[in-house]
Amino acid sequence: MESNLLKIKFDKVDIRQLNPLTLAFVGDAVYDVLVRTYLINKFQSISVHNLHVKAIKFVKAHSQSEIIKRLEKQLSEEELYFFKRGRNAKSGTVPKNADIQEYRFATGFETLIGFLYLTGEVDRLNYLFEFIITLNDKGEF
């Protein structure tokens, strides 16, 4: 049996059946890989520790909350639907370093990223990530 996990794609009917926290689980990992790839490309000669410090700026709940607030107006109805599903999901965990509203917005953001990745909307994911990089370069999170 041959399988290529990078080519697995969910259709939009199936993706609506997934728990939004499952989408956030995937979205968290995908976003982390995007951030790390971007950082090693931009800062090839800095230490891993400094890369990690820079990555935290992107992935912490406060930053993700600020990012999604700026992205919200650019989202399609479907993207907004998945963001809201994630934001409103009850996770059962209490955030350590963020208030509950930031944590929920961050979960919604990760749900959106998971949705885009699992449905194979790579161009849209790339567009949004480019927007995030622009926000970072302007110091907006």
Task: Give the active site residues.
Answer: 28
Residue-level pLDDT at 137: 93
Read off the pLDDT of residues 93-136 as tens digits, 9 standing for 90 and up: 877 888 999 999 999 999 999 999 999 999 999 999 999 999 99
Of the chain, the end-to-end C-alpha distance in Å amounts to: 45
Asked if the model's pLDDT at residue 3 lies above 80, the reply is no
Contact 109, 67 (CB under 8 A): yes
Residue-level pLDDT at 62: 95
Using the Cα atoms of residue 131, residue 137, residue 139 and residue 141 in order, give the sign of their dihedral.
positive
Distance CA 83, CA 44 (A): 33
The pLDDT > 70 percentage for the chain reads 96
Read off the pLDDT of residues 38-47 as tens digits, 9 standing for 90 and up: 999 999 999 9
* CATH topology (fold) of 18-137: Ribonuclease iii, N-terminal Endonuclease Domain; Chain A (1.10.1520)
* pTM of structure: 0.93
